[in-house]
């Protein structure tokens, strides 16, 4: 889960660093051959300028996305 928005996170290529660390440094080192990193962006805090309902819908979407990823794993 990523606390920033996708554009904020990718601005400095953080997504590439995290993917490399998880896929190469950890997974390959421990012998896990097939990995995939999936980011859930803006995963905490209130959405800037959003209503409570919009924020709740965003977080419900993230929770559902995480559930779907877990089901397919």
Q: What is the pLDDT of residue 7?
A: 92
Kindly indicate the confidence band of residue 11, based on its pLDDT and cuts at 50, 70 and 90: very high
Of all residues in the chain, the percent with pLDDT exceeding 70 is: 95
Q: Which domain holds residue 24?
A: 6-72
Within a domain: 1? no
pLDDT digits over 26-56, tens only? Answer: 998 899 988 889 999 988 766 776 788 888 8
Within a domain: 17? yes
Q: How many independent structural domains does the chain possess?
A: 1
Rounded-to-integer distance, Cα 15 and Cα 6, Å: 9
- The torsion angle over the Cα atoms of residues 73, 13, 27 and 35, rounded to 10 degrees, is 30
Rounded-to-integer distance, Cα 30 and Cα 7, Å: 31
Is pLDDT above 80 for 1?
A: no
42 class by beta-carbon count within 10 Å (0-12 exposed, 13-18 middle, 19+ buried): buried
Cα Dmax for the chain: 45
Q: What mean pLDDT is reported for the chain?
A: 88
């Amino acid at each position: 889960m990523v606390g920033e928005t996708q554009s904020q996170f990718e601005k400095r290529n953080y997504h590439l660093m995290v993917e490399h660390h998880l896929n190469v440094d950890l997974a390959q080192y421990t012998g896990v051959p097939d990995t995939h990193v999936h980011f859930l962006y803006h995963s905490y805090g209130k959405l800037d300028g959003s209503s409570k309902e919009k924020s709740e819908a965003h977080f419900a979407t993230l929770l559902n996305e995480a559930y779907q990823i877990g089901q397919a794993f």
